[in-house]
Amino acid sequence: MEYIVYEQKGSYGVITISREKALNALNSTVLKELDATLDAVNLEEVRCLILTGAGEKSFVAGADIGEMSTLTRAEGEAFGKIGNDVFRKLETFPIPVIAAINGFALGGGCEIAMSCDIRICSDNAVFGQPEVGLGITPGFGGTQRLPRIVGVGVAKQMIYSGRNIKAEEAYRIGLVNTVYTQEELMPNAEKLAATIAKNAPIAVRNCKKAINDGMQTDMDQAIVIEEKLFGGCFESYDQKEGMTAFVEKRKVEAFLNK
């Protein structure tokens, strides 16, 4: 891997986009390497992922403008599809993904963060969808995920104006869950990942699928999705151990992902 560093830390993994000289901007190579990295995650052992960027200045500053500047219409659509396919894989990845946003998260950087389940950021983080100032639309899901996360009116204002926002405003509008100092960001991301990883893996995965799938449909269909995933937890070892431990007033010995 040229631009992606992956480290497994026990029951969680850390993916770092490492193209620091370009502020971790996304080009075709980064996207392909990220796709391959996700495919290689050991889901038998890893129960949560953290996605971050190398250095202190930037999470992901955006897509690579130099690469995009000469694209034809067909090539632009194809580039958008590459990004959308990888981001959708991230969004629907079986285990939770935490975005630890350290600095700039602009354009494709904001879009990849929105593909993660949980977003936390450092106090120097800057978010935005500045594409209209470059003569294009957001192309990696920004027009779709941003209104779903912060509401249609706020999303339209951000996208139409191309204005960037700082960490505190991102927190206020619900784009991120928590703001930390730069020094506190990764320790807290890892603490959260470890907390998630301690819970029953089948249950956590089913929760993610229930939320993601249910949000795309009406309530009547959504509760059926939940019922099936709820039922799917029963008769697993982890369900038996979790409930037996509760009844017996003891701590769970171990969740075994089976």
pLDDT per residue as tens digits for the range 164-222: 999 999 999 999 999 999 999 999 999 999 999 999 999 999 999 999 999 999 999 99
Q: Output phi, psi for 106, to 5 deg.
A: -115, 145
Query: How many degrees, rounded to 5, is the angle at CA 219 between CA 215 and CA 223?
Result: 90
pLDDT exceeds cutoff 90 at 245:
yes
Catalytic residue among 2, 20, 67, 131: 131
Tokens of 33: 């390497």
Homologous superfamily in CATH for domain 4-197: 2-enoyl-CoA Hydratase; Chain A, domain 1 (3.90.226.10)
CA-closest candidate to residue 90, choices 57, 128, 60, 54: 60
Q: Where in the chain is the domain with CATH 3.90.226.10?
A: 4-197
CATH number of 199-247: 1.10.12.10
Q: What is the pLDDT of residue 68?
A: 85
pLDDT exceeds cutoff 90 at 147:
yes
Minimum mean pLDDT range among 63-67, 76-80, 137-141, 222-226: 63-67
Distance between alpha carbon 256 and the CA centroid of its chain, in Å?
Answer: 25
Q: Where in the chain is the domain with CATH 1.10.12.10?
A: 199-247
Dist CA 97 CA 158 (whole Å): 25
In this structure, how many other beta carbons lie within 10 angstroms of the beta carbon of residue 98? 24
pLDDT per residue as tens digits for the range 27-76: 999 999 999 999 999 999 999 999 999 999 999 998 888 888 898 999 99
pLDDT exceeds cutoff 90 at 254:
no
On whether the CB atoms of residues 177 and 134 are closer than 8 A, the answer is no
- What mean pLDDT is reported for the chain? 96
Token pair 């193209």: residue: 19
Average pLDDT over residues 124-139: 96
* 227 catalytic residue (yes or no): no
Dist CA 65 CA 76 (whole Å): 12
Q: What is the pLDDT of residue 257?
A: 86
Dist CA 125 CA 167 (whole Å): 5
pLDDT exceeds cutoff 90 at 235:
no
Pairing of strands 104-106, 58-60: parallel
Please list the residues that pair with 105 across neighbouring strands: 60, 127
Catalytic residue among 20, 111, 227, 241: 111
On whether the CB atoms of residues 176 and 116 are closer than 8 A, the answer is no
* 111 catalytic residue (yes or no): yes
Dihedral angle of Cα 113, 118, 124, 126, to the nearest 10 degrees: 40
Q: What is the pLDDT of residue 67?
A: 84
pLDDT per residue as tens digits for the range 92-109: 999 999 999 999 999 999
On whether the CB atoms of residues 142 and 201 are closer than 8 A, the answer is no
Tokens of 42: 């050991």
pTM: 0.95
Average pLDDT over residues 9-34: 96
Where are the alpha helices (H) located in 10-164, listed in sequence order? 28-40, 65-68, 73-91, 108-114, 142-150, 152-161
